[in-house]
Amino acid sequence: MDKKEQREKFKHLKKWNKVALIQTQEEFQNFIKQSLENRDGINRKIKIGETTKDARKRIKKIYGKSISNIGIDNNGIVHAHEEKHHNLETDDLFHVVDIINSALDISVSDTKHQDCDVLEFKKDINGNIKILAEIHNSKNYLMIFNAMRKKKAQRRPDATKMSPGAHVQDAPPPALNNNLPQIYPKCQG
């Protein structure tokens, strides 16, 4: 193989070295929004986190190799979010890193995705969520390409938006729900 063929063969590795690192929930939220609004744009990959030491051990036990990085791209977001039968809300994607790092239900899929082996991670977060990730051994990456819920998440109604006198079981009293900040944890990375 000559040098030109070698450069061409390993060109994809250089692209992975330039993957943007998302460090806050706000950055990830903006990336999701941009992905959903501009579906025909250039496909961008982002790093949303890293696997923990324990997660790497579980992955190695199931797959035979440990993987350190977690990424997602525009297409993965659009596919997971827009397929109605996937039952996902945008904020469900914020749990991806946590699911991969804490899921005990991990398996290797019988089918490949774009010639890559696939790991399935399942965890109950307000209902069972399943994450599908391509394994990119040479790049040391799990690339999320799909996510789904078995059932739609049960959302607690916002009592501050209910009409006066309305009663919903489990809804907090309006005084307890006012002025609570929305706090999102930072993506690990």
Structure confidence at residue 157 (pLDDT): 46
In a domain, 3, yes or no: no
Reported as a pLDDT band with limits 50, 70 and 90, residue 165 is very low
Q: Supply the mean pLDDT for the chain.
A: 76
Classify residue 135: in a domain, yes or no. Answer: yes
In a domain, 58, yes or no: yes
Domain count, the chain: 1
Establish if 160 belongs to a structural domain: no
pLDDT at position 38, please?
84
159 domain residue, yes or no: no
Instruction: Confirm whether 17 is domain-assigned.
Output: yes
Q: What is the pLDDT of residues 106-124, one digit of tens each?
A: 999 999 998 899 999 999 9
Indicate the SS3 state at residue 130. strand
Q: Which domain holds residue 63?
A: 9-153
Sheet holding 118-124, edge to edge: 20-21, 45-50, 69-73, 141-149, 128-136, 118-124, 105-108
Kindly state whether residue 187 falls inside one of the protein's structural domains: no
- For residue 39, what pLDDT is reported? 77
Residue 180 maps to a domain: no
Predicted local confidence at residue 3, as pLDDT: 62
Decide if 108 contacts 134 (C-beta within 8 A). Answer: no
**136-158, pLDDT tens digit by residue?**
988 899 999 999 987 765 554 44
